[in-house]
Structure 1
Amino acid sequence: MDDTMTLLFVFIQSTGLLAPIIFIGIHLIRPIFFIPVPVVCIVGGILFGSVFGTLYSILGLTMLSILFYFLYRQVPRLSNKINTLKQKWLGDKVNFTIGQIAILRLIPFINFHLLSLCIMDVTRYFRNYAKASFYTNIPVALLYTVFGQFIREFSTTVILAILLALTLLFYLLREKQVIIKWHEFFNPKAGRSFQ
């Protein structure tokens, strides 16, 4: 991971005024080279500082989400692969809220495009999808750009505390609804008549 970050750092730093455009482009091609989102965001923080690094990362990740939306609709092979991944990891009946998806995006080993598919399931139209993608990309870009360089130095206890806090937030932001099956709702209790 350090070699990848060093290579990205040297490459982008040597491009001068085109650096922001190239950095956003790296977000778009990142999945092809299996570069994790946190690595690119950390490089953005080192190169551009917290504010501009976060803005460029949000822009790049949102553009990647929009590109995924159109590729998912146009490329059946990609949609089959992502649907299989969703079926394997989440099953059929999982409905995450936008807040939960934003929390899940903070966890590095969860597939970025799988979460984009979850956003597609929650939203109906492209405009809503683009807005939800933008909002769910803000926490991941902000966290890894600002604090990403310090996360490697945290102790195991601090990392476990962060994961526990994320799990608690994930639970608190869940969709709060109760599903009662038809036959359970209308099933009269034994020994009771409705006269």
Structure 2
Amino acid sequence: MTAIQTTGYFAPLFFILFHLFRQFLLIPVAVVCIAGGVLFGAELGSMFSVLGLTGSSILFYLISKGFPTLLHRFEKMKVKWLGTYTNLSIGQIIILRMIPFVNFSLISLCILDKTKTFRGYTKLSFLTHIPSAICFTFLGAAIQSLSPIILAIILVLLVVLVYFFREKQVLIKWNDFFAREKA
């Protein structure tokens, strides 16, 4: 803690930049946000995590536009895990962001599918990062006092909420519905 206080602005800047590179190091979002709660406290850790996660989403957007083959791989992963016609609601996206084991880039792809512009994507990414960053950072600030049973109950509750907030309708294109099976 003393090392962070003596580094001044470099510790928060390094933490935000670490969020940007976290996705390439395959470190879960929850781990970094919890570390932010431990290192900076609940309020500042949440703010730094939201900024870092939004920057990470912007980086995903830029990489997906620059490398369409990578975007195609994520789209295949989305179809494999969620199905062809699954459209997540904003509530589902927010809750999925709070589940530690869900792929960050997959959720970013769902936001990319929901929005049409860079500004819309950035705004929706920012808004969906706020609850998860606050949740994980406060968890990091209070981690010593929570039991594993409470953590398991929270995870089960989040999974139930994902089901509850699902979209109740599916739109299937005419050609897809009447498509003939390929031999």
TM-score (norm 2): 0.83
Q: Which moved more, 1:82-91 or 1:154-163?
A: 154-163
Change (3 A) 1:11 1:164: same
2:36 is the alignment partner of 1:24: no
| Aligned CA distance change for structure 1 residues 111 and 131 (closer, same or farther; 3 Å) | same
**Equivalent residue for 1:99, pick from 91, 97, 108:** 91
Partner of 2:34: 42
Worse-superposed segment, 158-167 or 126-135: 158-167
**1:146 paired to 2:135:** no
Structure 1 segment 125-136 matched on structure 2, within 5 A: 125-136=117-128
Residue 65 of structure 2 aligns with which residue?
73
Structure possessing the higher relative contact order (Cα contacts under 8 Å, 6 or more residues apart): 2
| Code of the aligned partner of 2:166 | R
2:163 to 155, 160, 171: 171
Q: Is the CA contact (8 Å cut-off) linking 1:38 and 1:144 kept in structure 2? A: yes
- Mapped contact 2:41–2:141 kept (Cα < 8 A): no
Partners of 2:85 and 2:172 within 8 A in 1: no
Q: Kindly indicate whether residue 103 of structure 2 is the aligned counterpart of residue 111 of structure 1.
A: yes
Rg bigger for which structure?
1
Cα distance in 2, alignment partners of residues 55 and 166 from structure 1: 22
Partners in 1 of 2:172 and 2:23 — Cα distance?
41
Q: Alpha carbons of 1:39 and 1:11: their partners in 2 closer, same or farther (altered >3 Å)? A: farther
Report SS of the residue matched to 1:28.
Answer: helix
Greater CA deviation, 70-79 or 109-118?
A: 70-79
Q: Which amino acid aligns with 1:72?
A: S
**Structure 1 unaligned runs (5+)?**
1-8, 183-195
Q: Which moved more, 1:19-28 or 1:165-174?
A: 165-174
In the superposition, the TM-score normalised over structure 1's length comes to: 0.78
Q: Distance in 2 between matches of 1:178 and 1:80?
A: 22
Residues 82 and 152 of structure 1: CA distance in aligned 2, closer, same or farther (over 3 Å): farther
| Closer/same/farther in 2, CA of residues 79 and 47 from structure 1, 3 Å limit | same
- With over 3 angstroms needed to count, the CA separation of the structure-2 counterparts of 1:67 and 1:52, relative to structure 1, is same
Following the alignment from structure 2 to structure 1, what is the Cα–Cα distance between the partners of residues 3 and 25?
15
How many equivalent residue pairs?
A: 174
Structure 2 gap segments, 5+ residues each: 175-183
The root-mean-square deviation of aligned C-alpha atoms, in Å, is: 2.5
Pair 124,37 (structure 1): closer, same or farther in 2 beyond 3 Å: same
Aligned 8 A contact 1:47 1:53 in 2: yes
